Amino acid sequence: MSVPAKVVQILGRSGHRGVQKVRCKILDGREKGKILVRAVMGPVRINDILTLTETEMDS
């Protein structure tokens, strides 16, 4: 199940392939309101909506 998330902060680039780390807030579902850090490929701006395929934290 896909979950929408809004980009609230861009943390910077990592690597040489244009991967950016972003902080995003989950908008719907069981984890609504949670803020996660995710790596995103391609152009992204603050307030963009991402579709996350998983929202579980690594342990």
Q: What is the pTM of this model?
A: 0.83
pLDDT value, residue 56: 73
Q: Hey, which CATH number is domain 3-52, 3.30.365.10, 3.40.50.2000, 2.60.40.10, 2.40.50.140? A: 2.40.50.140
> Per residue in 1-59, pLDDT tens?
899 999 999 999 887 788 999 999 999 988 899 999 999 998 999 999 999 998 776 54
Where b means 16+ CB within 10 Å and e means fewer, 19-57 reads ebebebebeeeebeeeebebebeeeeeeeeebebeebee
pLDDT value, residue 3: 93
- Extents of the domains making up the chain: 3-52
pLDDT value, residue 57: 66
